[in-house]
Amino acid sequence: MSRMLSGVLAILLSALFAQAVAAQGRVGGVQVSAYTEVGAAVTLREVAVQARLSQGVAQTDMTLHFDHELKSPAQMTVNLVIDKDAVITGYSYWFKGERIDAKLLDNDQAWEIYRAVTSRGRDPAIMEQWGETNYHFQIYPVEPGTELKMVIHTVSPWESDADSFYYRPPQPSQGTPLKKYTAEVTMPDSGPDEVRDNFIGQFKANSGGLSCRFEADNWEPQKDWRIRIGRHEGELNVLAGGGRSGGARGFFYLLIAPGQEIEPARLRLSGVSTSKVMPMATGGLAKGFPWLVTGRYRGS
């Protein structure tokens, strides 16, 4: 752990990078629920999204601001449901103005540290993965008269359809409008020439590449908000990447968008220990439509 305050600990259980199936009917992409152990009301007030798009992957920092009605220090629980094609790679929260960064650990090591911390009568902050897309956070202490502010770090591959690659900014929903929502999406100079947004408008060029910023009050998620990235027609577009998801483990993806029909399509991996690779083969690839292969690896 990079820092320790009241025994800060992040536990990632069974870190998955499952096969991504585009949920065309989704709204927002992230569901949030929060509550306190003493029953005090909790409200997600503000969300700020910062995303960096590069080489087929989106690195997203999603900052959540919670209001609450605590009268004394207590534990707060936050549950997130994210997209199947996203992986949480870390999180931080603020305590008395200080940012506390948590580190993802393998299960055995994490639980060993957890038991050592709790045996000393200290309360750790915990993150667990309860399912393929469900994450559970417990944070203590949250003090009265302060907001709970936390940032979630995720990575995900770009999506694709017959027209282009695209990225959908996360729009957390709790069933009521957010008081404030901001999103800033950037791409480096090496990015493609054509980047467009069907909701905000065109990207602007600056010294760091391309960028687009959006800000709104009383925000409700927009179902079909997509930032589209042009690709070369008629070519086999292949994007690959990955990252650590705890200890020696990591996830990887291959996003393949052919410029012509390919049938059949098969994949062979060598030189690395892999697991949960899906899918290894497909009956065929239609022109322009993607084949997303995901999995886990161990070691280098």
Q: How many C-beta atoms lie closer than 10 Å to residue 231's C-beta?
A: 18
Name residue, tokens 């467009």: 196
180, 159, 169: which is closest to 65 by C-alpha?
A: 180
Q: What is the pLDDT of residue 5?
A: 30
Q: Write the secondary structure of 16-60 as one string of H (helix), E (strand) and C (coil).
A: CCCCCCCCCCCCCCCEEEEEECCCCCEEEEEEEEEEEEECCEEEE
With bands split at pLDDT 50, 70 and 90, how would you rate the model's confidence at 193?
low
Q: Which residue has the higher pLDDT, 202 or 50?
A: 50
Q: Cα–Cα distance between 161 and 184 in angstroms, integer?
A: 23
pLDDT digits (tens, 9 = 90+) for 111-133: 565 556 555 545 556 777 777 78
